[in-house]
Amino acid sequence: MGPALPEVHERRELERIAVDVAREAARLVVEERPEHLRVARTKSTATDIVTEMDQRAQDLLRDRLGRARPQDGFLGEEEGGATGGSGITWVVDPIDGTVNYLYGIAAYAVSVAAVVGDPAVPGSWAPVAGAVVNPTNGEVFHAHVAGGAWLEMPDAAPRRLELHGAPPLAQALAGTGFGYDAVRREWQARVLLHVVPQLRDIRRIGSAALDLCAVAAGTLDCYFERGLNPWDMAAAWVVVAEAGGLVTGLTGGPPDSSMVLAAPRGLHPELASLVRSAAEEAGDEPPLGQAAE
């Protein structure tokens, strides 16, 4: 049996907190963006960058969540985590789509999720509430388990997101992405060679959280990507699930770093079989951290 699901009133409260702190961090990354934004450091590769605003936004999220719920754990993309005793861990990506943020491309998001289970162990955790805020247009996606998925836009009434039906695969507009390691990008390109002829077209937006929320909102028909971390997908996963979509790994289990597949229920099996056969065609991914062939 999986980790216990908190009661509905607590799930609602977790969703409200996620929305409030994500909105505040969204304001910070827009209003306090330095005129000459620089790369503060790099992580897995030279293109896997961290700006000072990624760290500042994470520090703000950690401070606010720690005040609101001191017993909870915290896992963020950037430095600074904490274990908790409440059974809830906050999994945050202060700026999902950091490269877009650096280049001034209006497609990045603050992602905040409350999860049960251990987010450090693939397949052993799941989100119970979450919020994804796009600071550039004010879109706020949010959900809690069994509470439905919602989209709030400035000056508009909140809209419930509900997926009905799906196009056939050949007419599906799919989102995907590429990793920071050249070897991975080479493998992902090989998968795409096989996938693209079978779909309407591909969109590379540059933020997994926004890609997944686009599936929930119907502005993308499906999404797949290899190499995501829990913070890239946690909040948007519960938004897609509450909109009636499915978010899984390559073989139908929980999503993890080897693959995330998201689509409405009517399209998911076709997408899964297409990406599975493309991955087989592409062969095993060589060890990362080496020069691409």
Is 179 a binding residue for ligand LIP by CB under 6 A? The answer is: yes
The least distance separating ligand LIP from the CB of residue 85, rounded to whole angstroms, comes to 28
Which candidate, 145, 138, 134, 139, places its Cα nearest to that of 110? 134
Which candidate, 66, 71, 60, places its Cα nearest to that of 22? 60
Among 51, 188, 207, 248, binds ligand LIP (CB under 6 A): 207
Place of tokens 């609602």: 12
Contact string (CB under 6 A) for ligand LIP, positions 77-106, x = contact: x---------------x--xxx--------
The least distance separating ligand LIP from the CB of residue 101, rounded to whole angstroms, comes to 8
Among 76, 117, 127, 177, binds ligand LIP (CB under 6 A): 177
Of residues 89 and 188, the one with the C-beta less far from ligand LIP: 188
Among 28, 208, 217, 259, binds ligand LIP (CB under 6 A): 208
**CA–CA separation, 194 vs 183, rounded Å?**
18
Q: How many C-beta atoms lie closer than 10 Å to residue 203's C-beta? A: 15
The least distance separating ligand LIP from the CB of residue 289, rounded to whole angstroms, comes to 16
Helix (H, G, I), strand (E, B) or coil at 104: coil
Confirm if 125 and 225 have CB atoms less than 8 A apart: no
Is 180 a binding residue for ligand LIP by CB under 6 A? The answer is: yes
Is 178 a binding residue for ligand LIP by CB under 6 A? The answer is: yes
For residue 189, the surrounding DSSP H or E stretch is helix 182-195
Q: Which two tokens stand for residue 75?
A: 């896992």
Q: How many C-beta atoms lie closer than 10 Å to residue 190's C-beta? A: 16
Contact string (CB under 6 A) for ligand LIP, positions 231-250, x = contact: -x------------------
Is 10 a binding residue for ligand LIP by CB under 6 A? The answer is: no
Confirm if 91 and 234 have CB atoms less than 8 A apart: yes
Q: Which two tokens stand for residue 280?
A: 């087989």
- For residue 121, give every residue at least 6 positions away whose Cβ sits within 8 Å of its Cβ, in sequence order, or none: none
Confirm if 250 and 279 have CB atoms less than 8 A apart: yes
For residue 28, the surrounding DSSP H or E stretch is helix 8-31
Of residues 89 and 98, the one with the C-beta less far from ligand LIP: 98
Q: How many residues would you count in the chain?
A: 293
The least distance separating ligand LIP from the CB of residue 180, rounded to whole angstroms, comes to 6
Contact string (CB under 6 A) for ligand LIP, positions 129-168, x = contact: ----------------------------------------
Of residues 112 and 145, the one with the C-beta less far from ligand LIP: 112
The least distance separating ligand LIP from the CB of residue 109, rounded to whole angstroms, comes to 8
Which residues would be at the binding site for ligand LIP (CB under 6 A)?
77, 93, 96-98, 177-180, 207-208, 225, 232
